């Protein structure tokens, strides 16, 4: 009996204390949370026209007057727009608007061309339709197909036929901020406008702005 008891294996405690491990994990997590940035910042693609004078002159004349809107981005967060080609002898062609949904975006959406169409509204509607189609059937719209369709829409080739597209010229004064410029570019993205250009203020523009006392 005594012999049997001696040979009995001692039951080992198999529980391992995990507390130090948890401590270490906590430390590591804290370190990673503080020293890293989780979200990658967004970017916006911007292609500027070449500084080559000949090219830009030709492109500038390509658009029809009624399909053109010139946006003047000015200091103190002010924004003005001219429908069509600016009339340099008439300072009243400059119309003041505001940033955001009820301001410049509405101006662009409601812009009517000479043949009575509203190209921005048409194109935005087409884009929403495309987005819905993509949402309903994501498999049928991989990025390549979606981008191709979007480019087509931006060119004015809708299902219902070809519509004219808008050309937006953005001119920023020296007093505008970078934020204003990005906001203006943002409106182009929101309104699905394919052709827009950031142009320099020329002496005539400067004179026009000075007549209205705009910085």
Partner 1 sequence: MGKVKVKKADVWIDMTPMSDVMVLLLTFFMLTSTFVKNEAVKVVTPGSVSEIKVPETNVLTILCDKEGRIFVGMDNPRKMGDLVSGMASTYSVSLTKKDMETAQGAASIGVAMDNLAAALAQGEKLNEFQADKGIPTDSVNGKMSQFQDWVQTARDNNGKDMKIAIKADEGTPYKVIKKMMSELQDMNENRYYLITSLKSSEE
Residues of the shown chain interacting with partner 1 in the complex, contacts defined by CB under 8 A: 15, 17-19, 21-22, 25-26, 28-29, 32-33, 35-51, 73, 100-101, 172-183, 185-186, 189-190, 200
**Nearest distance, CB of residue 145 and partner 1, angstroms:** 18
Q: Which is nearer to partner 1, 99 or 167 (CB)?
A: 99
Instruction: Report the alpha-carbon distance of residue 96 to residue 80 in Å, rounded.
Output: 4
**To 10 degrees, the CA torsion angle through 96, 102, 105, 109?**
-100
Q: Which is nearer to partner 1, 29 or 148 (CB)?
A: 29
Instruction: Report the alpha-carbon distance of residue 18 to residue 140 in Å, rounded.
Output: 49
Nearest Cα to Cα of residue 201 among 79, 72, 34, 23? 72
**Nearest distance, CB of residue 52 and partner 1, angstroms:** 9
**Nearest distance, CB of residue 78 and partner 1, angstroms:** 13
Cα three-residue angle 91-96-101, rounded to 5 degrees: 155
Q: Which is nearer to partner 1, 87 or 100 (CB)?
A: 100
Say if residues 105 and 204 touch (Cβ distance below 8 Å): no
**Nearest distance, CB of residue 81 and partner 1, angstroms:** 17
Q: Which is nearer to partner 1, 30 or 204 (CB)?
A: 30
């Amino acid at each position: 009996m005594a012999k049997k008891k001696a040979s009995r294996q001692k039951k080992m405690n198999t529980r391992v204390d995990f507390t130090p491990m948890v401590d270490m994990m906590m430390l590591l997590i804290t370190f990673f949370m503080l020293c890293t940035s989780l979200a990658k910042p967004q970017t916006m693609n911007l292609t500027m026209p070449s500084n080559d004078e000949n090219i830009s002159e030709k492109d500038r004349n390509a658009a029809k007057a009624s399909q053109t809107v010139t946006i003047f981005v000015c200091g103190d967060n002010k924004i003005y727009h001219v429908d069509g080609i600016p009339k340099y002898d008439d300072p009243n062609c400059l119309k003041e608007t505001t940033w955001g949904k009820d301001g410049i975006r509405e101006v662009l959406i409601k812009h009517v061309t000479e043949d009575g169409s509203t190209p921005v509204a048409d194109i935005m509607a087409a884009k929403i339709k495309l987005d819905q189609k993509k949402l309903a059937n994501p498999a049928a719209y991989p990025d390549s197909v979606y981008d191709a369709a979007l480019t087509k829409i931006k060119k004015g080739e809708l299902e219902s036929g070809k519509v004219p597209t808008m050309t937006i010229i953005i001119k920023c004064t020296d007093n505008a901020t970078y934020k204003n410029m990005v906001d203006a570019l943002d409106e182009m993205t929101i309104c699905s406008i394919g052709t827009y250009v950031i142009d320099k203020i020329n002496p005539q523009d400067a004179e026009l702005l000075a007549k209205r006392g705009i910085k």
